[in-house]
Structure 1
Amino acid sequence: MRKTIVALIVGYILFGAAIGSYLFFLTDTTIPEQYRGTAADPATFMDERELTLSQDYATVRNLLFFLSTPYEWVLLFLLLIVGLSRKIKVWSEATTRFRSLQILVYFFWFSLLTSILSFPLKWYGYSASKKYGINVQPFSNWMKDYMIDYWINFLLTGLIVIVLYTLIQRSQKRWWFYAWLLSIPFTLFLTFIQPVVIAPLYNDFYPLKDKELEAKILALADEAGIPAEHVFEVNMSEKTNAMNAYVTGIAGNSRIVLWDTTIEKLSDDEVLFIMAHEMGHYVKKHILFGTVGYIFVTLVGLFLIHKMMNTIVTRWGHALHIKNMQEISSIPLFFLLLSLLSFIFLPINNTVSRMHELESDKYAIELTGDNTAAVMTFQKLSKTNLSEVNPPILVKIFRYTHPPMLDRLHFLESYGQPVIEDN
């Protein structure tokens, strides 16, 4: 066990050194020659200081991302191999004789312990965003959001774990399929209530204050065939200097939301382009496709976890202090495999997401006919959010749900423009 633990820690340190070397020394994020002087060249819309800050901040965020996920794997594996998971199981079983409550008690201590051990990385991410002027939240407010997030995740995930391990106990061979069937209405329910129940726990949402701008947006929505009655504004300026807008929800609970920072920093034409982009998500049914895709991936993921857990418990259950899958001490193994599979699926998920974003960009230009506003919008977003214009390939593959700004700005500048051929 000692050799395994030492090997695990040394392996994580070596991985950290390798990814750090890649991000700091081995990547070339300079702008290709063909983009120099175009709208995609950050030198045309950022000064030297902004260029340096955006690159430094991006490197910090990228390093934090690539260190955080393996760190989670290390924690979960250590809980198993040192026998701590089994001890928490014994404590929970001594607390109550009801299995559902045993699972909940176990999950409370499990989630509390992993949250405490993961907190330093969360805090470092907050500190970095604060240092670079993105986050303006006082630590107390950030902690308030952190605690809200913790308790929401505890309650929702705790319910899921109780259902999962009840199914595993009753049907070890088909639990994954029954769990998938139950996940469908649960996923739809969460998608439906998130805009009106969960999101307002973090921020204040209200109809757009600028009624003249709202009238323009609603006229654009009418042209797009969207039955919108309101555009929602969210008070984000007390938390961040960054800009954003998004569409969320399904059916009657779909919402188009603008951050107040976006309204303050962009012109009406630029806001209209952003809204047209968000309307593109609605018209192209990206939320629906995303939900259906998530449901399908859940089926595949649960099946793979079922197979992998069976194999691991059979071969190495003694070393991990797990007698069988039904034992609640196997919960860290479930989350470890879930995290691994989620990471493996990231490139596929991100590729699909980037395709949807590109579709929405096309739709927005066709709806507004305003390439200039499109380019100016994303140049301002790049400056304000300190976006990395040309990220390293691994960062793009594993982190980017949107096209990099280099690709996006080049596309927005050239889309629909006549092609001039050299004679």
Structure 2
Amino acid sequence: MVRKMGVYAVLAYVIYGLFFYWYLFHFADSSLPFEYQGTKADPATFLNGRELMLSEEYSKIRNLLFFLSTPFEWLFYFLILLFGFSKAFKSWAESSSKYKLLQTAIYLIWLSFFAFLATLPLSYISYNLSKTYNISTQTFASWMKEELIDFWINYGTLMIIVPVLYWLMKKSVKRWWLYAWILSVPFTLFMMFLQPVIIDPLYNDFYPLKNKELETKILTLADKAKIPAEHVFEVNMSKETNSLNAYVSGIGSNARIVLWDTTLNKLSDDQILFIMAHEICHYIENHIYIGIALYLLFSLFGLYLTYRIMNWMIARYGKELKIPDVKDIRSLPLFFMIISMLLFASSPLSNLISRYEETRADRYAINMTQNPEAAITSFQELTRSGLTQVNPPLLVKIFRYSHPTMLERISMLEEFEVQQRK
């Protein structure tokens, strides 16, 4: 039975992968509708032939990697349970220490290490793809350093969450999911507060914007929006990527405006001001706080569904999965697998909400700056630097795009430009 379940799981993953390969490379059509051809949203008007070809190639492969990566995690956790690795990790932990907390730490290091090794090849393929298409400028050593930073941050976070989670499971068999959610609220807010000043600097160097004239212009926009930021920060992303980005991060007194140095190097002041006005809208319309609230709401339903699904699966397949009880730490891979599945299933809705907020931010930015030419050319440069598809396939948009497509964004700006001329 165990071998049969393993074969079926691998076969299901292979069929799933073949479907998305066929969909992305042979079925989906990313060409522009006739009415948009020749407009400023048409990549043929601002990309050369080689850039057009590379954009299509890179996007297809990158999208395939996305659709393969998340279900691969499910397969990994399922096989870890099915072939007794989770049981073995617990046995090793118990034989290594008599203290419960240390046993949990040992179990987690084994599970985290195996998960790291299993997902590293796909991560490397993604990194190598970006290097091949000149998106990434990062050295292998720098990339590996960030992978290891991710590993230890994730491990440290799990060492906070997992002991509390399983303590709650033992204390309240029927309500652990609710108590876990209640504790997650202050933890989430605390991590959001720490993110810009503690976690982000582990990856890159942040420093005040060197261009003081541009900083003054940005802070003038920020002041109109009542953003409590005294400085604009620059981050040295050019050592890692040729892509462009800017954002407002943090909450409360830790809120900060951040520009990638690639953005500063490739865009004019007017283009940057449009992008910053877009980011400012997120702040003044409380999109950060709305996002936190929605995340907490989704996590409440997610934890409840996880509770129900875990109980059902262990009652029905506990013997095959080597899990005697939900509150046994051997069930942790099952917990991770279900959470990952629910996140993937909910991504179309969360992306839809995000695209709505991003559309509002685009409209706010163009109304604030009144410079459609700078806005349009900034999106065209974003497309070029990231080799982004202007009109991605439907499933890619639904599952991947937290922002409107470039076709939608540039077309909206062109409509504003036409209205402005009247």
Q: Bin the TM-score by the shorter chain.
A: over 0.9
Distance in 2 (CA, whole Å) between partners of 1:298 and 1:273 is: 34
The 5-angstrom pairing of residues 394-409 of structure 1 reads 394-409=395-410
The 5-angstrom pairing of residues 148-167 of structure 1 reads 148-167=149-168
In structure 2, the residue matched to 1:93 is: 94
Deviations 1:246-299 (A, max 9, x none): 111111111111000000100010010011011011111100100111111111
**Given the alignment of the two structures, is residue 321 of structure 1 paired with residue 317 of structure 2, yes or no?**
no
Kindly indicate whether the alpha-carbon contact (under 8 Å) linking 1:375 and 1:412 is maintained by their aligned counterparts in 2: yes
Kindly indicate whether the alpha-carbon contact (under 8 Å) linking 1:62 and 1:395 is maintained by their aligned counterparts in 2: yes
Distance in 2 (CA, whole Å) between partners of 1:195 and 1:70 is: 30
Distance in 2 (CA, whole Å) between partners of 1:321 and 1:226 is: 53
- 1:167 maps to a residue whose letter is L
Distance in 2 (CA, whole Å) between partners of 1:85 and 1:11 is: 22
Runs of 4+ aligned residues of structure 1 deviating over 4 Å after TM superposition are: none
In structure 1, the residue matched to 2:19 is: 18
In structure 2, the residue matched to 1:220 is: 221
Deviations 1:3-52 (A, max 9, x none): 22122212211211111011000011111101011111101100110011
**Given the alignment of the two structures, is residue 174 of structure 1 paired with residue 167 of structure 2, yes or no?**
no
The 5-angstrom pairing of residues 135-284 of structure 1 reads 135-284=136-285
Residues 409 and 182 of structure 1, relative CA distance in 2, 3 Å threshold: same
In structure 2, the residue matched to 1:336 is: 337
Gaps of 5+ in 2: none
Distance in 2 (CA, whole Å) between partners of 1:310 and 1:223 is: 52
Distance in 1 (CA, whole Å) between partners of 2:189 and 2:210 is: 31
**Identity percentage over the alignment?**
51
Kindly indicate whether the alpha-carbon contact (under 8 Å) linking 2:281 and 2:361 is maintained by their aligned counterparts in 1: yes
Distance in 1 (CA, whole Å) between partners of 2:421 and 2:380 is: 25
Aligned residues: 421
Deviations 1:345-393 (A, max 9, x none): 1001101111111111011011111111110110011001111111000
Distance in 2 (CA, whole Å) between partners of 1:133 and 1:420 is: 39
The 5-angstrom pairing of residues 117-128 of structure 1 reads 117-128=118-129
| 3-state secondary structure, aligned to 2:207 | strand
Distance in 2 (CA, whole Å) between partners of 1:10 and 1:227 is: 54
| 3-state secondary structure, aligned to 1:119 | helix
In structure 2, the residue matched to 1:67 is: 68
Distance in 2 (CA, whole Å) between partners of 1:225 and 1:337 is: 41
Distance in 1 (CA, whole Å) between partners of 2:158 and 2:122 is: 21
Distance in 2 (CA, whole Å) between partners of 1:210 and 1:344 is: 43
- 1:22 maps to a residue whose letter is Y
Question: C-alpha displacement at 1:98, in angstroms?
Answer: 2.3
Distance in 1 (CA, whole Å) between partners of 2:301 and 2:219 is: 40
Kindly indicate whether the alpha-carbon contact (under 8 Å) linking 1:29 and 1:392 is maintained by their aligned counterparts in 2: yes
Kindly indicate whether the alpha-carbon contact (under 8 Å) linking 2:77 and 2:334 is maintained by their aligned counterparts in 1: yes
Question: C-alpha displacement at 1:157, in angstroms?
Answer: 2.0
Question: C-alpha displacement at 1:90, in angstroms?
Answer: 1.2
Question: C-alpha displacement at 1:149, in angstroms?
Answer: 1.0
**Given the alignment of the two structures, is residue 366 of structure 1 paired with residue 367 of structure 2, yes or no?**
yes
| 3-state secondary structure, aligned to 1:326 | coil
Deviations 1:56-90 (A, max 9, x none): 11111100011111111111000111111111111
Kindly indicate whether the alpha-carbon contact (under 8 Å) linking 2:41 and 2:411 is maintained by their aligned counterparts in 1: yes
- 2:360 maps to a residue whose letter is E
| 3-state secondary structure, aligned to 1:333 | helix
Distance in 2 (CA, whole Å) between partners of 1:418 and 1:370 is: 12
Distance in 2 (CA, whole Å) between partners of 1:54 and 1:405 is: 13
Question: C-alpha displacement at 1:419, in angstroms?
Answer: 9.4
Distance in 1 (CA, whole Å) between partners of 2:231 and 2:130 is: 32
Question: C-alpha displacement at 1:168, in angstroms?
Answer: 0.6
Deviations 1:139-160 (A, max 9, x none): 0111011111110111012211
Distance in 2 (CA, whole Å) between partners of 1:44 and 1:266 is: 19
4-13 vs 132-141, greater mean Cα deviation: 4-13
| 3-state secondary structure, aligned to 2:242 | coil
TM-score of the aligned structures, taking structure 1 as reference length: 0.97
| 3-state secondary structure, aligned to 2:247 | strand
Distance in 1 (CA, whole Å) between partners of 2:334 and 2:6 is: 16
- 1:136 maps to a residue whose letter is T
Distance in 2 (CA, whole Å) between partners of 1:127 and 1:393 is: 26
Question: C-alpha displacement at 1:313, in angstroms?
Answer: 0.8
Question: C-alpha displacement at 1:133, in angstroms?
Answer: 0.1
Distance in 2 (CA, whole Å) between partners of 1:183 and 1:354 is: 26
Question: C-alpha displacement at 1:172, in angstroms?
Answer: 1.1
Kindly indicate whether the alpha-carbon contact (under 8 Å) linking 1:191 and 1:250 is maintained by their aligned counterparts in 2: yes
Question: C-alpha displacement at 1:418, in angstroms?
Answer: 2.6
- 1:279 maps to a residue whose letter is I
In structure 2, the residue matched to 1:382 is: 383
**Given the alignment of the two structures, is residue 350 of structure 1 paired with residue 351 of structure 2, yes or no?**
yes
Kindly indicate whether the alpha-carbon contact (under 8 Å) linking 1:224 and 1:367 is maintained by their aligned counterparts in 2: no
Distance in 2 (CA, whole Å) between partners of 1:170 and 1:96 is: 23
**Given the alignment of the two structures, is residue 78 of structure 1 paired with residue 83 of structure 2, yes or no?**
no
Distance in 2 (CA, whole Å) between partners of 1:329 and 1:137 is: 38
Question: C-alpha displacement at 1:226, in angstroms?
Answer: 2.8
| 3-state secondary structure, aligned to 1:30 | coil
| 3-state secondary structure, aligned to 1:57 | helix
Kindly indicate whether the alpha-carbon contact (under 8 Å) linking 1:61 and 1:125 is maintained by their aligned counterparts in 2: yes
